[in-house]
Structure 1
Amino acid sequence: MPTTLPVPIEFELPEGWHAAPPDEAGAPGAAFVALHPHPDAGFTANITIDGEFRPDAAALPEIAQESVERLRQTAMSVEITGRREIGSAEAPGLTQTLAVSAVVGGLLRDLVQSQVYLSMLDVADPRKRSVIRLVLTATASQHPTVLDDFRDFVRTVRPDTDTGAGAAS
C-alpha cells in the first residue's frame, strides 16, 4: 500500500514520464512513482517520492546514510559516488548518487540512483520537520540520458499551499 507524504507537495513530471501505482511498480513504500516511457534492457527507469516526519535532530547527511544502509540490506553492493548539500538554511537539501548492483527481475543489474532530500518545516509549527526524498533509479547505461529529466522534475517540487489539493499535480 502506498504511503502518504507528511506534507503535501506539487510537482510536474517530465514529458513522456507517466504515473504508476506504487504497489504495481514494485515500490510499495513510495507515495508516488513515475515511469520512463523507454525501458533499457528490460529495466524501466523510475522516479519515486517518499517522505517521513522527522522529530529527531538528524542532519540530512545522516538521513541519507540511513537510506544507504537500508539499500545495502537488499542489494548486492551499494557505493556512494557523490554527496553534497544544497539549498539554503531556510530550505536545506542534500543530493547523493549511488552505484547499486542488485538482482531485479531475476537479473543482476548495475543501477544508478540519484537521490534528493528536501527538509520542509511545518508552517504552523516550525519545530516539526519533514524530509521528502526524491529518487531516480536507472540502469548505469541509461542514467546519463534521464538525469536531466530528473533535474527538471526536482526543480518543480514545491510545498502544496492549496489545502484542498492532493499530493501531486
Structure 2
Amino acid sequence: MPGTLPVPLEIELPQGWQSAPPEEVGAPHAAFVALHMASRGQGFVPNITVTGHRLDGSSSLHGLAEESVRRLRENVGAVEVVKRTEVGTSPAPGLIDAPGIVQNLRIQATVNGQPMELAQSQFLLVLQSERQRGERAEIEIALTARTSQLQDVLTDFQSFISTLRPASPSSEG
C-alpha cells in the first residue's frame, strides 16, 4: 500500500509525465510517483516521488536533509551531497510559503543489475498543520534521473514544485 501525506496537497503534472502506482515502480513508501514517459527504454526512467510524514519534536531542516541522505545510503548506495540550499520563502509563485531545503545529490546505484550514476534533486519542506496547532509534517519531493538526463527534466521538476499548494477543503474528499 502506498504511503500517505500527513498534509493534503494539490499538484499538477507537467506535460509528458504520468502518475504511476508507487508499489509497482519500486517506491512503496511514496504517496505519489510520476514517470517521464519520453525516457522509457533508456535504461532508467526519470521520476518524481512525493513522500511525507509527521514530525516529532523539533527536527531541524538540516537534520531532515541528513536523514534523507542517510536513508539513501542505506537503501541505494554511495551518496554525495553536491549542494544544499535553505529556502525560507516561496521560490516560485503559488508555492506553499514554508521553510525548506533544496539539496542536489549524486548517487551511485545499481539499477537492473547495472551500475549507474544518478542525480537527485530534493525539495524538503516543513509544514505546520492548520487543524492541529503544534503539529508539523515533512514533505519530500525528489526528482531522480541519470546525470545525463537531468538537464532534460529539471525544468519540469521546477514547474511541478511551483504548482504545489495546500489542498482546498472541497478537494480533500
Q: Give the TM-score category using the shorter length.
A: over 0.9
Q: How far did residue 92 of structure 1 move?
A: 0.6
In structure 2, give the amino acid aligned to 1:97. N
Amino acid at match of 2:89: S
Cα shift readout 1:45-67 (whole Å, capped 9, x = no counterpart): 00000000002201111101001
Of residues 92, 100, 107 in structure 1, which corresponds to 2:99?
Answer: 92
Counterpart residue type for residue 13 of structure 2? L
Match of 1:15 in 2: 15
| Cross-structure match for 1:32 | 32
Give ranges in structure 1 of 5+ residues lacking alignment.
none
133-142 vs 122-131, greater mean Cα deviation: 122-131
Task: Indicate how the Cα distance of structure 1 residues 57 and 163 shifts in structure 2: closer, same or farther if over 3 A, else same.
Answer: farther
Give the whole-Å Cα distance in 2 for the aligned partners of 1:164 and 1:10.
9
Q: Which runs of 5+ in 2 are unaligned?
A: 91-96
Between Structure 1 and Structure 2, the one with more helix by share is 2
**Corresponding residue for 1:82?**
83
What TM-score do the two structures reach when normalised by structure 2? 0.91
2:136 corresponds to 1:129:
yes
Range that drifts further, 52-61 or 37-46: 37-46
Q: What secondary structure, in the 3-state scheme, does the structure 1 residue paired with 2:145 have?
A: strand
Map 1:13-162 to 2 at 5 A.
Answer: 13-39=13-39, 41-88=42-89, 91-162=98-169
Superimposed CA distance per residue, residues 18-63 of structure 1 (whole angstroms, 9 cap, x where no aligned partner): 0000011110010000000122731000000000000220111110
CA distance in 2, matches of 1:163, 1:129: 22
Aligned length: 166
Query: What TM-score does the superposition give when structure 1 sets the normalisation length?
Result: 0.93
* Structure 1 residue ranges, 4+ long, deviating more than 4 angstroms after superposition: none
Asked if structure 2 preserves the Cα contact closer than 8 Å seen for 1:74 and 1:102, the reply is no
> % of aligned pairs identical?
45
Structure 1 window deviating more from structure 2 (73-82 vs 29-38): it is 73-82
Q: 1:124 & 1:75 partners in 2: Cα distance? A: 36
Matches of 2:2 and 2:131 in 1, distance apart?
Answer: 26
Query: Following the alignment from structure 1 to structure 2, what is the Cα–Cα distance between the partners of residues 75 and 122?
Result: 32
Residue 77 of structure 1 and its aligned partner are, at CA, apart by 1.1
